[in-house]
Each structure stands twice: as C-alpha cells, then as structure tokens.
Amino acid sequence: MTARPLSDTDRTRHRRLRAQGGTDRAELDAILAAGFLCHLGVLVDGSVLVIPTVYGSTGTDLYLHGSVASRSLIASPNSTVCVTITHIDGLVLARSVFEHGVNYRSAMIFGTPRPVDDPDEKLEGLRCLTEQSAPGQWEYARRPNRRELAATALLDLSLDEASVKIRTGPPDDGDGPDAALGLWAGVLPLHTGWGAPQPDPALPADIAAPPHIATRSGAPTA
C-alpha cells in the first residue's frame, strides 16, 4: 500500500525526537480512530485556553463539539487553533530517572476551524461525534431537536495540517553505563477498558443495556 505523507509545515515539522515522528497519514488516522476526547487550544482575549472536548473524525476533517456559550468555541473560528489527542500506552522505567519516559501515541492538528451552521451538516457532524464515542448510539437514542441544535456549537477543522509522534519500546539506557547498576528497568503497560454499564437509577428494571453498549464491556445483552 502506498504511504500517504503527512503535511510538512513549520508547525508540523519535527525538531526534537525526530525518530518518534510519524510521517504516514495512516498513523494519524489510527490515533484519531482510537479515541474520542481531544484538547482544543485557542487564544481568547490574549490568554491561551485549552479545553477538553469530544471529536468525530470523517477521515478528512474533525468535528468539535461544545455549547454556544463556550468562549473558546465562539472565539476559535476567528483564529488558528491547535487540537491534540494523546493515548498513553505505558511508563518507561529506566535505570536512571533522566531516562524515564512514556510510551504514547499523539497527534496535533492545526488550522482555522469553520463554524457549522447548516442544520443538515450539524446533524451529520453530531452523528459523527456520537458514533466516534459510542458506535450504534445515534440510531438508538432520540435525535437532537431544533432547540437543542440551536444550543449546540459545532466546528469543522481540516486534517490537512497535522503532526504525529509515537514512542514504543524499552528504556534507552540498556547499553549504557547504568546497565551495570543491577536495577530493574522496563515498561509498565497501561491498558484501558470499559466497565459494566451502570443503569440510571430512574430506569425501569426491565430495560437492559442495548447490545451496542453491553458488548463493549462484555456484559450480557438483553
């Protein structure tokens, strides 16, 4: 398969730890597909704000969600933003504290987001967001009504300018002088997973979690 290179701009060019820099668009796609939470960095009134929010990826764009009362989402269409997504895979515990590190996968996306005002596109963007975090939920739950759509801010950010960094593997001091210290070194992996669904206390006892929710944790389905 032919590699699709990532953008090469002043903002995406790797200047430190270049060996950890990704260059293939497929690496960006995999990082985006593995999550649904990002951090949106934007300049508001001369101050930098970094806001956690959910996203949905179409493969060419990110949809970012928020309230119309959010200062960051109101301001960001007028300025360049930086969106980051990070997945932690483990602690890298070396023989010296200096060589400690983290195994991770991360992406940074730069650009000027476009506010989504068209009702049909806003619905499609919200579907993308919902399916990113809980596949199957868009078809299961009630769709947003006109009042709810009016109270929701949605931004569209192109993936054209993006940077990827990935670190894997053991500590880097296995062939250095500290290897003679006789200390344990290695990786402490971090695994995340979904627990059993916790029903709303107001839910009638005969309403079980639908399969698309229950199967994510291995819980029995209705």
pLDDT score of 161: 94
Regarding whether 118 and 72 lie in a shared domain, the answer is yes
Task: Give the mean pLDDT of 194-217.
Answer: 93
User: Would you list the DSSP string of 135-192?
Assistant: TTHHHHSPPP-HHHHHTEEEEEEESSEEEEEEE-SS-S-TTSGGGGG----EEEE---
pLDDT score of 49: 87
Q: What are phi and psi of 99, to 5 degrees?
A: -90, 0
User: Does residue 177 lie in a domain region?
Assistant: yes
What's the domain count of the chain? 2
pLDDT digits (tens, 9 = 90+) for 109-149: 999 999 999 999 999 999 999 999 999 999 999 999 999 99
Regarding whether 18 and 124 lie in a shared domain, the answer is yes
Query: Between β-strands 81-93 and 161-167, what pairing exists: parallel, antiparallel or unpaired?
Result: unpaired
| Domain extent at residue 100 | 13-190
Whether 115 contacts 77, CB under 8 Å = yes
Query: How many CA atoms are closer than 13 Å to the CA of 32, on its beta-carbon side?
Result: 25
Regarding whether 143 and 165 lie in a shared domain, the answer is yes
Regarding whether 208 and 130 lie in a shared domain, the answer is no
Regarding whether 61 and 133 lie in a shared domain, the answer is yes
Alpha-carbon distance values, 164 to 8, 12, 27, 171, 195 (Å) = 11, 8, 7, 21, 30
pLDDT digits (tens, 9 = 90+) for 31-50: 999 999 999 998 887 888 89
Whether 33 contacts 59, CB under 8 Å = no
Q: To the nearest whole number, what is the mean pLDDT of the chain?
A: 88
Q: Among residues of the chain, what percentage have pLDDT more than 90?
A: 70
pLDDT score of 157: 95
Regarding whether 160 and 130 lie in a shared domain, the answer is yes
pTM for the whole thing?
0.87
Is the per-residue pLDDT at 68 higher than 90?
A: no
pLDDT score of 73: 62
Q: Among residues of the chain, what percentage have pLDDT more than 70?
A: 85
Q: Band the pLDDT of 76: cuts 50, 70, 90.
A: low
Regarding whether 169 and 63 lie in a shared domain, the answer is yes
Regarding whether 147 and 40 lie in a shared domain, the answer is yes
User: Does residue 147 lie in a domain region?
Assistant: yes
Domain CATH for 46: 2.30.110.10
Regarding whether 210 and 115 lie in a shared domain, the answer is no
Is the per-residue pLDDT at 221 higher than 50?
A: no
Instruction: Give the H/E segment covering residue 54.
Output: strand 47-57
pLDDT score of 156: 94
Is the per-residue pLDDT at 2 higher than 60?
A: no
pLDDT digits (tens, 9 = 90+) for 166-201: 999 999 998 999 999 999 999 999 999 999 999 999
Alpha-carbon distance values, 157 to 83, 94, 114 (Å) = 9, 39, 6
Q: Is the dihedral of CA 50, 56, 57, 60 positive or negative?
A: negative
Regarding whether 152 and 70 lie in a shared domain, the answer is yes
Regarding whether 215 and 161 lie in a shared domain, the answer is no
